[in-house]
Structure 1
Amino acid sequence: MKNKFWFILFLTTYASLMAQSVATSPYSIYGLGSLYETDFGSLPSIGSSGIALPSDSFINNKNPASLGLIGKNSFFFDIGMKGIQTNYVSQSDSEKRNNFQFSHIAIAFPITSKSGIGVSLKPYSSATYLISNYQIPIANSNEYYTLDAKSNGGLNNFDLSYGYKIHENFTLGLSSSLFFGTINDIRDFTVAQSITTIDKKNFYKGVRFTLGNQIKIDSTFRLGITLKSPAHISASKTQSVTTSNQTETQYVEDAVTDDATDYYLPFEFGVGFSKRFNKKFNLTFDYEKSLWNGTNQTNFYGEFKNQDKFALGLSYVKKEKSIYYSDKIHYFAGANYDNGFLSINNNNIINKSFSLGVGIPIDYTHSLLNITYSYGQKGTTNNSLIKENYHTIGINLSLEAIWFVKRKFE
């Protein structure tokens, strides 16, 4: 009955997740919006590191090869939500906003004793923002024009992943990611006494593949590698354009359907390790590189740069199998540094954060209620930009059911 309940919850939550506003950030105006980091299980608490971690106790979305290590009778269900408080700071002003949303929903289960499959739905990007009276310099001039903009929507990511254990110490995995979504965007450009309004709805879709592997060096040390293919995100739009001044309004376009500027995701690779100490501590470290320069795409407001990400995590549990409940509680800490993939006014939009978390056991399986707190900073106040100071509380329910085990007693 419990398993049926989880499956129904997966389906009913689908519609709710699709409708959520993921984030509110002025940097969502660039490209497809702010890229949204979504990780499962305890990964948010360890700095979003985990390329080398197996999926023997939770769904590891960092590396599809981890699915080859799911227990033969295990069924995993994972769902999460976040509450975010952000303080936006400029050189002259500041503003606080709060946001709350679902972050992901996923299931994973074994197919054979050496392979497993996973399905997940999560947001990939958010273009939800509101900008008022933002002054942008006119090239080769001392003059400015004013931008007022509002937008909502973004891209969703539906993943189908498969992992296979080729050898006791070597697993491979493949993930296919379907990107789809809509961004509604209205922008007013004011120059002198003239206002140009662009009202458009963009539709996006595309596919990407991820190849991963994990190597078990010994009982305490693992390595992981991921390779993500470049992807072409095709776009179309419906757009209306008007210009107005103090005396008249002209309709330049009225609900015209046309192709839009396509978007390109870069080739990415990642490496990571996991090291266990004293059967209580586990250290994880990841490095990921995204070759945005190779996409050869431009942005009206900024320049794409190659991106480097560093993630470090530490977990502790006194004794997972103990008669004392307090011994089985998991504790986590992590840090993350991202030098950004956009340069605006010669400033990279850097994102850095640290996190703390606790995993509360639910039953005699690997089920945990993960609670994460993180604090981070994104952007800068230099050159009329905006700095975001954010606090995040994440709640993640990672459930394991044991299926198809014959009862010993009737």
Structure 2
Amino acid sequence: MGTKALAQHGINSLYSAYAIGDLEERDYTRNFGVGSTGIARRSDYFLNELNPASYSAIPRQHFMFDVSLRGQIVGYKNNNSLNQSAGDLSVRRLAIGFKANNRWGISAGFSPFSSVNYKLLSTTYLDASGQTTTTTGDGGINKGYITNSVKLNKNFSVGVSTNFLFGPLNTLENVGGDTISTKLQRYAFNVNFNTGAQYTGRIGSKWVIGLGATYRFKTKMNFDKKLVIQNSSETTVYSYDLASEKYTLPEMYAGGISLTNGTLTWLADWKHQNWSQYGQAGTHYKLVDADRYSTGLEYAFRRTYGDMRVEGLVVQAGFAYNNSYLQLYGEQMKDISGTAGISIPSKSGAIRYYIGVEAGQRGTLNNGLIKETYMNAVFHFSLRDIWFIRRTYD
């Protein structure tokens, strides 16, 4: 028999121990500072992964490269005097994109889909005296993707993203500091598809409205499982292949709206995932439908070069509210955060540097659960260059 966790460390918290871990709900591009909002957004300054249809906005003969880093600090608290913190620095996104012709945009990249990272202590009774059990989880599901987007006419664009989902989810258990530990290894792989559409049109002479929608198809994830017994030097003493496990990744519906005059931009998004229809349940947890709402404002200062006006410094502010797919002891995990960001162009205009910050909290103190207070900082680097030009000589 065991008790509730007495202590927990790690970036993603005890909540990542359930299902397939913490789902990555944030977008680590220039959308970060507006609450990771941008389903209806089209931009020729960065690659917008939130909608597969957006890549048709890449300028003709341009090649684009994006990389994003995240630093994170998390504090953990409960009603039993738990007060701990953790920090992390990681690469969250790599992506490239280019315009194949006047209508067809292509992008490929790599980013996390879910993360598992936790450590908890509990008490196990093997005899009359209790032994401390340490349970550690790590890994997560990664996403590699290739996206194709086509501009149907001056107002409509559509796109399809082929996502390759793969990665390990490991659980290591050690009782009483013994020299033998038990490790459950799970490895997932499957292909998932996400589709999108965007519409842009003018309202009067100054304003442009954008509408966007995405749909992610249901996917059955296959998990290969293995039980491994290790000694204190992490040498495998015994291993056994277990029956494979199937897990359903549900459909996701999402929609967004944008309104801009080229200087001021307002964005709003909504996402819904049907986890309750396909989800699993345990003795004290179950999976429920998830919803995420976000909105943000962006102001772009313009620079003039002769007869041409280009985008200069950009400032942002946003807000996000997320009802998680996880319910523990009758409490659905909620995540509330505020964001801000600034985008700075280089002198040549080919490179943009972006810094975004986010402060928020997740979880609750009710029913012996843990509340997390976190701070995220994102550095995003975007290169835009003309590559596909045939040189001519006199």
Asked whether the two chains share a fold, i.e. TM above 0.5, the reply is yes
* Aligned with residue 323 of structure 2, among 319, 328, 339: 339
- Give 1:282 deviation, angstroms: 0.3
| Partner residue, 2:37 | 49
Separation in 1 of the partners of 2:381 and 2:328?
38
Separation in 1 of the partners of 2:211 and 2:313?
26
Deviations 1:7-52 (A, max 9, x none): xxxxxxxxxxxxxxx9431111011111123524311111000001
| Partner residue, 1:150 | 136
Separation in 1 of the partners of 2:358 and 2:154?
36
Deviations 1:180-221 (A, max 9, x none): 01122113589xxxxx96421111111110110001122511
- Secondary structure at 1:133 match in 2: strand
Stretch of structure 1 that moved more, 157-166 or 287-296: 287-296
| Partner residue, 1:97 | 86
Deviations 1:290-339 (A, max 9, x none): 0101214334551001011001111111215458x998111011111101
- Give 1:263 deviation, angstroms: 1.8
- Paired-residue identity, %: 26
Higher strand share: 2
Separation in 2 of the partners of 1:213 and 1:395?
28
| Partner residue, 2:266 | 283
Deviations 1:41-100 (A, max 9, x none): 311111000001114221000001011121111111000111101001111221011111
Going from structure 1 to structure 2, the CA distance change for 1:268 and 1:320 (only over 3 Å counts) comes to farther
Check the 8 A contact 1:322/1:328 in 2, yes or no.
no
Check the 8 A contact 1:38/1:123 in 2, yes or no.
no
Matches for 1:7-406 after TM superposition, within 5 Å: 23-91=11-79, 92-133=81-122, 148-187=134-173, 198-218=182-202, 220-240=208-228, 254-277=238-261, 279-299=262-282, 301-321=284-304, 328-365=312-349, 367-405=351-389
Residue type of the partner of 1:75? F
| Structure 2, unpaired ranges of 5+ | 1-9, 125-129, 231-236
Check the 8 A contact 1:293/1:306 in 2, yes or no.
yes
Separation in 2 of the partners of 1:381 and 1:146?
24
Deviations 1:258-297 (A, max 9, x none): 22432211111100011014x3210000001101012143
Check the 8 A contact 2:185/2:228 in 1, yes or no.
no
Separation in 1 of the partners of 2:226 and 2:107?
35
Residue type of the partner of 1:313? G
Separation in 2 of the partners of 1:299 and 1:321?
61
- Secondary structure at 1:72 match in 2: coil
| Structure 1, unpaired ranges of 5+ | 1-21, 136-143, 191-195, 243-252
Please tell me the root mean square deviation across aligned C-alpha atoms, in Å.
2.8
Structure 1 stretches of at least 4 aligned residues deviating more than 6 Å after TM superposition: 407-410
Deviations 1:104-129 (A, max 9, x none): 10000011110111101011111111
State how many pairs are aligned.
365
- Secondary structure at 2:140 match in 1: strand
- Give 1:354 deviation, angstroms: 0.7
Separation in 2 of the partners of 1:121 and 1:326?
30
- Secondary structure at 1:27 match in 2: helix
Separation in 2 of the partners of 1:221 and 1:326?
20
Going from structure 1 to structure 2, the CA distance change for 1:58 and 1:326 (only over 3 Å counts) comes to closer
Separation in 2 of the partners of 1:326 and 1:165?
23
Separation in 1 of the partners of 2:310 and 2:85?
37
Normalising by structure 1, what TM-score?
A: 0.83
| Partner residue, 2:6 | none
- Give 1:349 deviation, angstroms: 0.8
Separation in 1 of the partners of 2:55 and 2:63?
11
Residue type of the partner of 2:66? D
Stretch of structure 1 that moved more, 260-269 or 391-400: 260-269
Check the 8 A contact 1:30/1:301 in 2, yes or no.
no
Going from structure 1 to structure 2, the CA distance change for 1:271 and 1:158 (only over 3 Å counts) comes to same
| Partner residue, 2:4 | none
Higher helix share: 1
Separation in 2 of the partners of 1:352 and 1:108?
32
Check the 8 A contact 1:87/1:94 in 2, yes or no.
yes
